[in-house]
A and B are shown apart, each in its own frame.
Chain A
Amino acid sequence: VHSLAEIESAFRTSVPDEALRGLINTRVLLRTGVNLRMIDPQKDRNPEVVAHVLSTLADFGYRLEHG
């Protein structure tokens, strides 16, 4: 997983429940400033931002592979 778009895709697969995914997405936004439902192209492949989002999702128990 190298980009926010890839995170969003992997997270969508990992959490098919839309309501739950929406709630976690909001938690991620408030923690990192990143809205996975509306990815800012300037941040999409920023390694620091990608790592922050991955570690935040991991905090919540969603461990996505970091490439």
Chain B
Amino acid sequence: MSAPTATRSATASAHSTRPDARAAAADLLRQFGGVEPLAVAFFCAPGYDGVALSAALRQAHPACEVIGCTTAGEFTEAGGGHGGVSAFAFGPEVVARCAGALAEFSGGIKEGIARATAEIGEALGQDLRHADPERTVGIVLIDGLGGAEEEANHALGVAAPALSFVGGSAGDDLVLDRTEVFYNGLATKSGAALLVLETTGPFAVLKTQSVEPTPHTFSVTRADPARRTVYEVDGRPVLEAYAEATGVPPEAFGFETFMRYPWALMEGDQPWLRSPKAVTEDGGLEFLCEIEEGRRLQLMRQAEMLGPTRAALAEARRQLGGEVQGSLVFNCVYRRLELDALDLHEEYLALFAFAPMAGFHTYGESYLGHMNQTCVGLLLG
């Protein structure tokens, strides 16, 4: 697939469906054209040998930092699907310096993130706590099945409270068996790949979701946050309250209801979405995000996706004075399923066609915290 590059070849996007990792890497590198990347982010179907893929990309550009992860579908501004690999190259016109690291969670999430961010700070010669938030931004790819996203995002805030880390949780094409993240030829199934960029120009963070508020709010009165499960709201069984508010009987609860009626932690009129995942055997509602007792959440209703995405992109581009060199996009797999159902992938990806873009369909999105059913992204000016 050929992909356009921005003026000055500051960035490039690429997509390959070649099944062999080395052949796919060669295909991606060919599509990068004249860009000499300082960093590459790649997003591959779970069948790929991501270690070989990242090693091959790095072999071609030994000074380049390479991060990646498995997906529930991958795309560029020119198209997408699942079963292939998409990639994004950051050239020196947009990135002055960068450093990455693999955070292993086997010895603790907080400890893994602390070690990785310290390594990055050392490589950049600067404590990330003191980095310029106007010119420094992070990318975070977290394994999508370990339930570590809340702690990982909090630990990133501890290490670098003023910096934005944008990213997503790795997927495995909805098999829910194994996800991986990669950094410079290394891999982990329990951890995160981090990349910190010092940009040459401004950047904007995209966050968009397609929901509208309902009049229903819930105060969580019994929950098991470690299992991401809510049992009671306002002193009532959660299934009863959710059924009453949605008009869907509990026996009919399933993916369609959960996608149609997510919950939101509200920040003024800004929703941070928490999507239900399943009804538990002990009568709880399991979510894709941790929800603690005492939280007040609003029930949302799914709405049309293209309009809000277009508006959010327009606002991000406005912040950058209209000139965008490229973007990375992390799009919830729930949104992918909606695009599948409505056959809207082409129209959706066309919204990003103003500059090279690469991204993937995620098992959760990261920006200051962990969320669901959202599209987050990084636009480089």
Contact = CB atoms under 8 A, between A and B. Distances in A.
Main secondary structure of the interface of B (DSSP, over half): mixed
A27 B368 CA distance: 6
Interface in A16-41: 19-20, 23-24, 26-27, 29-31, 33, 35, 37-38, 40
Interface in A38-53: 38, 40, 43, 49
A61 interface: yes
Contacts of A60: 157-158, 161
B267 A35 contact: yes
Contact of B133 (A20, A33, A59): A20
A31 B265 contact: no
Nearest to B371: A30
**What bracket does the count of chain B residues touching chain A fall in?**
20 to 34
B289 to A, nearest CB: 9
B129 interface: yes
Contacts, number: 54
A60 B129 CA distance: 9
Contacts of A23: 133, 161-162, 164, 368
A26 B154 CA distance: 11
Nearest to A46: B294
A26 to B, nearest CB: 5
Contact of B294 (A20, A35, A49, A62): A49
A65 B113 CA distance: 28
Contacts of A26: 267, 368-369
A19 B204 CA distance: 13
Given A23-B162, A59-B154, A59-B157, A30 B133 contact: no
Interface string B153-182: 110011001101000000000000000000
* Shortest beta-carbon contacts, A-B, top 7: A30-B369, A60-B161, A33-B295, A27-B157, A26-B368, A59-B158, A27-B368
